[in-house]
Structure 1
Amino acid sequence: MRDTVIFDFGGVITSSPFAAFNRLERERGVPIDLIRRLNATDPDSNAWARFERAEIDVATFDRDFAAEARTLGHELRGRDVLPLLYGDIRPRMVHALDWLKREGFHIGCITNNVPAGDTPRDPQAVAAVAAVLARFDHVVESSKVGIRKPDPRIYLMMCETLNKRPDQCVYLDDLGVNCKAAAQLGMAAIKVSGEGQALDELCAALGVAPGHF
């Protein structure tokens, strides 16, 4: 029986930043999905990966991200991308968290994030995110543990803390590469393309009535 649900945060609990990335790309006259392309190139050693593991500071990220963009023939600073990372909290996802807790499920969050304080945030938005994170039994942040998805160790770290096997877990993420890593460990992985789709598939994975959330 799968009695544990592990969520990504950005793009799952909150709306995806990809639309905001595309708006910036249009404003700057650079190719659509350039930011995602940069993030996918040398994915374990690029500026984004190193920043999410807290191996570099924000100034170095800004410089190195710009250098990577320049290698592809475009001008884009890392600092210009950072404010776009935070989407809107999805109310139905929060309702699902509350229902899962109430029904006795274990819930965790694994997030690839950047060090706190390195991105401009509205205090009210920070408080709202903190209130959601407080619902989880455990949160693993890449910037604090120095490991990021899709490294299998970060999923196993969560399982160990929750005292669960991977085959007892459902995992939700908006990136296929992260879902693939979870599935290879034995988790039931759900690739999130939208709030309704994700929650319907979560209902199916847990054996509860469709539309329950």
Structure 2
Amino acid sequence: MRIRGVLFDAGGVLTRPVGGRWNPRYDFETIVLAHHPGLRPELFAPAFAVGQRVLDAGPGTVERARYHRAILAALGIERPSAALLWELEAPAAGPVIEAYPDVRPALEQLRERGIGMSVVSDNWAGLEAVFAGLGIAGFFAGFVISEVLGCRKPDPRMYAEGSRLLALEPAQCLFVDDDPVLVAAARDLGYRGVTLDRGAAVTGDGVVTGLAQVVRLVVHDRSPF
């Protein structure tokens, strides 16, 4: 079967974080220190590690508020004020993520060729609005978000929903992710798959370094299984 659709991961494939860090977002320390100016800066890194363990612990994506509370507790803030929690949950003053420079050209080329596209991301609800702010949401038939679906990749339901949004069979879809384990899981389910490693020195063995290569794979139908 020819490739008729592409399932994209979001972070590391289509977008990157402003400030160089995914979680928590770049203004976390500034907000917390405004409420608790006596906190020592060196406490944040180990507290972030605690938060990451909370994110990694369950089969689904935990609520953002629970994640923030775990970090705050590790900082010694057991009873955070409602104002602090609200600020951490509120939209940031500026962009939190940005699209890689090669994203729009690649999406435009795929759309011109009639290729359907969806986003399959381990993320919190609201990603579609973020993509709308970046001006790229309209390229996608839909978004599969782990917090909404209640599971994370490599749960088969994540992939299945991505191809369902395109009304395609797995064998008709290419899955693109920056995690080779998740790409391997997609292949096991019958999808074609490539790992996008933007920092790789060389390509090959199912690894690409940019979206232009993904477009070429789709156009020439040479993606690996």
Is 1:104 the counterpart of 2:114? The answer is yes
Q: Kindly tell me the number of residue pairs found equivalent between the two proteins.
A: 187
Q: SS of the counterpart of 1:163?
A: coil
In the TM superposition, structure 1's runs of 4+ consecutive aligned residues that sit over 3 Å from their partners are: 16-19, 21-24, 27-42, 65-70, 82-86
Query: Which residue of structure 2 lines up, in the alignment, with residue 73 of structure 1?
Result: none
Q: SS of the counterpart of 2:15?
A: coil
Q: SS of the counterpart of 1:180?
A: helix
Q: Percent of pairs identical after alignment? A: 22
Q: 1:36 & 1:207 partners in 2: Cα distance?
A: 42
Q: Are the aligned partners of 2:174 and 2:192 in contact in 1 as well (CA < 8 Å)?
A: yes
Deviation, 1:127, is 4.7
Q: SS of the counterpart of 2:214?
A: helix
Deviation, 1:194, is 1.7
Q: 1:105 & 1:95 partners in 2: Cα distance?
A: 14
Runs of 5+ consecutive residues of structure 2 not aligned to the other structure = 27-39, 77-84, 200-207
Q: Are the aligned partners of 2:4 and 2:172 in contact in 1 as well (CA < 8 Å)?
A: yes
Q: 2:196 & 2:159 partners in 1: Cα distance?
A: 18
More deviation, 146-155/92-101: 146-155
Runs of 5+ consecutive residues of structure 1 not aligned to the other structure = 71-76, 118-122
Going from structure 1 to structure 2, the CA distance change for 1:85 and 1:184 (only over 3 Å counts) comes to: farther
Q: Are the aligned partners of 1:11 and 1:17 in contact in 2 as well (CA < 8 Å)?
A: no
Q: Are the aligned partners of 2:122 and 2:147 in contact in 1 as well (CA < 8 Å)?
A: yes
Is 1:61 the counterpart of 2:61? The answer is no
Deviation, 1:182, is 1.5
* Aligned pair partner of 1:205 in 217, 220, 225: 217
Q: Are the aligned partners of 1:14 and 1:86 in contact in 2 as well (CA < 8 Å)?
A: no
Larger radius of gyration: 2
User: TM-score with structure 1 length normalisation?
Assistant: 0.66
* Aligned pair partner of 1:138 in 124, 142, 158: 142
Is 1:92 the counterpart of 2:132? The answer is no
Q: Deviations over 1:150-178 (max 9, x none)?
A: 21111111222322121211111122332
Q: SS of the counterpart of 1:88?
A: strand
Give, as a single letter, the amino acid of the residue that structure 2 aligns with 1:45.
Answer: G
Query: Which residue of structure 1 lines up, in the alignment, with residue 79 of structure 2?
Result: none
Structure-to-structure mapping, 1:11-50, within 5 angstroms: 11-15=12-16, 19-20=20-21, 28-29=41-42, 39=52, 43-45=56-58, 49-50=60-61
Give, as a single letter, the amino acid of the residue that structure 1 aligns with 2:170.
Answer: P
User: TM-score with structure 2 length normalisation?
Assistant: 0.63
Which structure shows the bigger proportion of residues in helix conformation?
1
